[in-house]
Amino acid sequence: MKKRCFALMLVLTVLLVMPFSLAAIDFTKEAVSSTIIKETMNPALFNFTIKNNLGIDDFYTIDTQLDFNVQPAGTFKVEANSVKTIPVNLLFSKIMRNQYSGTRLFEYSIKSQQLGLEQDTFEIKIISLKTALEITTPESIAMKDSSTTITIKNREPASLEGIATINSPLAKGTQEISLGPFEQKDITIDLKKEDLWKEAGKYPFTVSLTFDDYTWDIERNVDLKEHKEVVSEDKKTNLLAYQKKYSKKTNMGNVPENVSITMTLSSFAKSFTSYNIQPTSIRQEEDNFVLVWNKELNIGESLEVEVISDFTVPLVIIAALFIIFLLIYLSKKNTVTITKRAIKAVTNTGDFATKVIISVKNRGRDITDVEVSDYLPPLATLHERFGTEKPEVEGSRLQWKIDVLPKGEQKVFSYAIYTKLKFIGSLLIPRAQASYIVNNKQKSMISNEVQVMA
């Protein structure tokens, strides 16, 4: 009886265990990043999707006997009648990275507590960084550019994180980079104007990519394009006795430039003109002179020309001559005037008569010892009536004396003459004369001539 019961229990146990032992683990794996870069520590990434078809919870383990780590390590749970996706990272040691190249299969096992153990392989590609990445650097840079771009293209299903450093006489910069599988990134580097103000030509351009403890230097050349630019500055100062012309040309490009500055001067101005630098050439065009300065300017060099025409000396000479001539003129010009006029009259007896008026006026400095003399015409008789002052009479000569005649004053003398003779035409009355002392010098002058019609 006991034997029958044992046999029945054995059969039931076998029938219960048989479905689990005969069933396979239901899972799939998807390669997310299946490339290993030798010089970096990037992991390979696979997504495992496990389906638990059992009516009870199950526990799973992924493991390998090779020299790489599987994460997550240990056991993970998949609940009864459910599906779970587990990301699995494969971390290869440096030894394996250096030992293998190309596409290889690596064995691993997946173990279920309920369904047992199964063997499978990872297909992994192991390549160098230079094979995985494609670097594109700019072929040329212009002086007016504000930035430049470097393109990094990941040609493999691998994930990378590192630092990109650009080092060049034209550009410098550092940026962190993160590349997913088959991803392409543009790195923009700001450019500084002072770094680009260099002679046109080829310059080294190095891109350094650092991943973990490895740095890859990509050495290229970049062409700094030719840029021609000459900046001009002109100023003028015009005063009565001073003229200044200033001209400056600066090479703001990156290639040597031949520049020229031209100025024109009159023949008169040229004689009184100086320059900070001597002209390259001088030519005459009609009444003017054309001055030309030529120079080859390297980057940042300037040609400065300053032309100064100073007319102070000739103007001083002209002014001095004018003053001298004016003084001479004033010294010779009479400031004392003597004028004479006659008024026709008739006496009570019907004789021909004339009243003569002499005026002496001082427009200059005070004069002294003034003597005014006049003469009677022939056949004329002096009338006994005079003006305010009676002259001294000596024959036909009449004379008045004045001690001082101040500046701006005038003295008038008059007398009358008559004649019993009858004549036709006019009576000519002689000129009067005045002598005087001014500035301790004796001077004299005569009046105008007077004619009286009969």
pLDDT in tens, the chain (454 residues): 444 544 445 444 433 444 444 468 999 999 999 999 999 989 999 999 999 999 999 999 999 888 888 998 889 999 999 999 999 999 998 888 889 999 999 999 999 999 999 999 999 999 999 999 999 999 999 999 999 999 999 999 989 999 999 999 999 999 999 999 999 999 999 999 999 999 999 999 999 999 988 999 999 999 999 999 999 999 999 887 888 999 999 999 999 999 999 999 988 888 889 999 999 999 998 889 999 999 999 998 999 999 998 888 888 888 889 888 876 665 555 578 899 998 887 777 767 788 888 999 998 888 999 999 998 888 788 887 777 788 888 888 989 999 998 998 999 998 888 887 776 777 788 899 999 998 888 988 899 888 887 6
Q: What are the structural domain ranges in the chain?
A: 19-127, 129-224, 230-312, 336-453
Segments of 347-425 assigned E as strands: 352-362, 367-375, 381-386, 392-394, 397-405, 410-419
Using alpha carbons only, what angle is made at residue 369 by residues 365 and 374, rounded to the nearest 5 degrees? 105
Q: In this structure, are strands 184-190 and 147-154 parallel, antiparallel, or unpaired?
A: antiparallel
Q: What is the CATH number of domain 336-453?
A: 2.60.40.1530
- What is the CATH architecture assignment of 19-127? Sandwich (2.60)
Per-residue pLDDT, 333: 58
> Please, are residues 260 and 294 in contact by the beta-carbon 8 Å criterion?
yes
Q: Indicate the fold that domain 129-224 takes in CATH.
A: Immunoglobulin-like (2.60.40)
HEC secondary structure over 167-217 = ECCCCEEEEEEEECCCCEEEEEEECCHHHHCCCCEEEEEEEEEEECCEEEE
Paired sense of beta strands 288-297 and 302-310, if any: unpaired
C-alpha distances in Å from residue 134, one per residue of 154, 203, 329: 7, 21, 99
Is 220 within 8 Å of 136 (Cβ atoms)?
no
Predicted pLDDT at 3: 46
Nearest to 415 by CA among 392, 437, 384, 438: 384
Provide the Cα torsion 412, 417, 423, 427; round to 10°: -20
Rounded Cα–Cα distance for residues 273 and 288 (Å): 13
Q: 122 and 70 in contact (C-beta within 8 Å)? A: no
Quote the Cα angle for 403-408-412, to 5°. 60
**What single letter denotes the amino acid at residue 162?**
G
Q: Name the β-bridge partners of 122.
A: 106
CA–CA distance, 289 with 297 (Å, rounded to integer): 25
pLDDT of residue 293: 95
Backbone phi, psi, residue 100, to 5°? -110, 150
- Phi, psi (degrees; rounded to nearest 5) at 41: -110, 30
Class of 230-312 in CATH: mainly beta
* C-alpha torsion sign, points 74, 80, 86, 88: positive
Cα-Cα-Cα-Cα dihedral of 48, 54, 58, 62, to 10°? -30
- Strands 367-375 and 397-405, sheet pairing: antiparallel
**Three-class DSSP category at 390:** coil
Closest CA to 100 of 68, 132, 134, 69: 68
For 99-134, the DSSP string reads H--EEEEEEEEEEETTTEEEEEEEEEEEE-HHHHEE
Least Cα distance to 370 among 334, 414, 333, 406 occurs for 406
Reduced to 3 states (helix: H, G, I; strand: E, B; else coil), residue 43 is coil
